[in-house]
Chains A and B, each alone.
Chain A
Amino acid sequence: MSGVTLDVPDGEILTVLGPSGCGKSTLLRLVAGLDRPDSGEITIGGEDVTGREPKDRDVAMVFQSYALYPHMKIFENIAVALRLRRLPREEVGCRVAKAAEMLGISGLLGRYPRQLSGGERQRAALARAIVRDPKAFLLDEPLSNLDALQRERTRAELKTLFKEIRATVLYVTHDQIEAMTLSDQMAVMRSGQIEQVGKPEEIYARPTTFFVAGFVGSPQMNLLPGDLFPGGAHTVGIRPEDILLAPEGPMEMGVVLRESLGSQVLLSLRGGGLELKALVPAGRPAAENERVRLDPARAHFFSADGRRIDSPSISSSAVTRKGRDGH
């Protein structure tokens, strides 16, 4: 990992999104103090903590595995950090009770972790983090061991909770929906480097690299050869929802596959040497062929080294497949 600069503003949630092995967990461990950087500095709340032990950094971490202490009851699990800081017994009891109440696990304090369901353990791990009232929260894929329904519910609860306690959060995930929905700021990471930082909607609307374009957004952006449009771009990206199907479209493509996503249908189209995915309303009648128009105003252009080209000299008129074949 090198050249990573990230700033999490107070009270905001910054998610780091990236494929597995991109270094996002290492980043979290560096901030926590579990690993040491070869160079560079880490500041928390304006204080340089680069050389400090994890316990002296005033951060709390939620692990993917939850890392609850199996031999301690939930109360002890939540209380241990306070006890290690020698807080008076009454205060420990009071703060544990409050944290447990916020997460709705007051009734589980007398149980052992193995007697809890996955969702309950997840809450216990969160309670253990918030009871400390730390300067920053570090979360490492905290929802990935939950089933889809629980994940969706917990995601919303997390956001509400963190906003309520005005937490400063560094959140690592490979799940782009989590990143999109939770973040104030989002950083996309690949091979130990930050590809782009910004608000989720900005990143979605204006990916600055080819990698981000392909990684953020589901279904994935169509990544097509750059010579579809004049202007010298190496690659062109168009999101499936930006593919226009219209009777006057210049390209005729065959419908290879229809996948229903409920309110929308994802069409796989093939024709003229191209393969595309297009997202259309569910009401659209099925057809064997569709006429397609690619709008350069909705396209993203990338150079050969994967960087975004902001204003390629493109004629405003849509380019057709025929035009391209004419080369």
Chain B
Amino acid sequence: MSYGYVALAAVLLICVIALPLAVALVGGATHYGEVFSDRELGKVAFNTAAFAFASVSLEMCLGLLFAIVLHQTFLLRGIVRAIALIPWALPTAVMAMSWKWIFNDSYGVANDLAIRLSLVGHGIAWLGRPGAAFAAIVLADVWKTTPFVTIILLAGLQSIPRDLYDAMSIDGAGPLQRFRLVTLPLLRPSIALALTFRLIQAIGIFDLVRVMTGGGPADSTKTVALYIYDVLISYGMPEYGAALTGVVALATFLVAATFGALARGRARA
């Protein structure tokens, strides 16, 4: 009797996951060879890796810093914690539009500030220069997703018993040693979790880049997801797109799992 319900769910899963996956794998089967000789893929993979490395490492560092600050007791802590989450709660496309305006060369806030502070003499076309465009995208992503890392690490910090810090103080540790000997090791599971999620999201980044630069200038910010979109929609090659997606998904999984496991490290013992 109860198996009936499971069967229903199983049929549903087969229809929406297993069948499309099988079709994609079989359909793309003849194209897997092409994936590994695709020069453009190599280029966008490099862009994606650079973006993921830059944004995720900045987010992890800032997220840890913010989590530690928000873990302290201070006036209006609840409100400050809520405010800190706002960037993450915004829809990416909307906040990407805002950042695009901020970095607009003629009427953006970024140039206005830079000129007033005399950092530059005239406006910079932030999104029109390869290096600057990359930096702008990283900055926007860090602004948006640091709160996500913060909240996971804050939850991790809150789960560390106060007694352990007291015991470590009495054992002779100062604040830095307590951080190294208590906080960091006990935070490892949370760090691993945040890192895994962030890597998967960063490697698959699409909407932010699509809105801010469209992959430009000259494909310098084009990520793997944007490339797959082009292959599928612009170039009209669904089978190659399927093969590409399969390989990228597997690679994403491997990278995230590897780094996640490294971060978790000894905590598994």
Contact = CB atoms under 8 A, between A and B. Distances in A.
Interface in A1-57: 29, 32-34, 53-55, 57
Contacts of B266: 71
A67 B172 CA distance: 15
Which of A69, A85, A128 has the most B CB atoms < 10 Å from its CB?
A: A69
Given A71-B266, A84-B177, A55 B163 contact: no
A55 B161 contact: no
Interface residues of A, dominant DSSP = loop
Contacts of A33: 169-170
Interface string B227-269: 0000000000000000000000000000000000000001101
Contact of A55 (B170, B182, B188, B269): B170
A85 B166 contact: no
A61 interface: yes
A80 B171 contact: yes
B186 interface: yes
Nearest to B164: A67
Interface in B131-176: 161, 163-164, 166-174
B173 A55 contact: yes
Contacts of A211: none
A54 B170 CA distance: 5
Contacts of B170: 32-34, 54-55, 57, 59-61, 81
A67 B168 CA distance: 9
B181 interface: yes
A54 B186 contact: no
A61 B185 contact: no
A61 B172 contact: no
A272 interface: no
A242 to B, nearest CB: 42
Interface string A98-129: 00000000000000100000000000000010
B187 to A, nearest CB: 10
Interface residues on A, range: 20 to 34
B166 A63 contact: yes
A312 interface: no
A85 B163 CA distance: 21
A84 B172 contact: yes
A71 to B, nearest CB: 4
A65 interface: yes
Contacts of A63: 163, 166-167
A249 interface: no
B169 A84 contact: no
Given A63-B167, A71-B185, A71-B186, A84 B173 contact: yes
Contacts of A323: none
Nearest to A60: B170
Contact of B163 (A65, A84, A112): A65
Contacts of A225: none
Contacts of B174: 53, 55
A206 B195 CA distance: 65
A304 to B, nearest CB: 42
A297 to B, nearest CB: 49
Contact of B267 (A59, A71, A80, A85): A71
B118 to A, nearest CB: 46
A35 to B, nearest CB: 10
Which of A29, A60, A84, A132 has the most B CB atoms < 10 Å from its CB?
A: A84
Interface in B206-239: none
B182 A61 contact: no
Nearest to A76: B181
Given A55-B174, A81-B172, A85-B172, A69 B182 contact: yes
Nearest to A138: B170
Contact of B161 (A54, A59, A67, A81): A67
B265 to A, nearest CB: 10
A1 to B, nearest CB: 18
A53 B181 contact: no
Given A71-B186, A81-B170, 17 more contacts: A54-B169, A54-B170, A55-B169, A55-B170, A55-B172, A55-B173, A57-B170, A60-B170, A63-B163, A63-B167, A69-B181, A70-B186, A71-B185, A71-B266, A80-B168, A80-B173, A84-B171
Interface of B: 161, 163-164, 166-174, 177, 181-182, 185-186, 188, 266-267, 269
Q: Give me the 6 closest cross-chain CB pairs, A-B, nearest first.
A: A67-B163, A81-B171, A84-B172, A67-B167, A55-B172, A54-B169
20 contacts: A33-B169, A33-B170, A34-B169, A53-B169, A53-B174, A55-B172, A63-B163, A63-B166, A67-B161, A67-B164, A69-B182, A71-B185, A71-B267, A80-B173, A80-B181, A81-B170, A81-B172, A85-B172, A112-B269, A132-B171
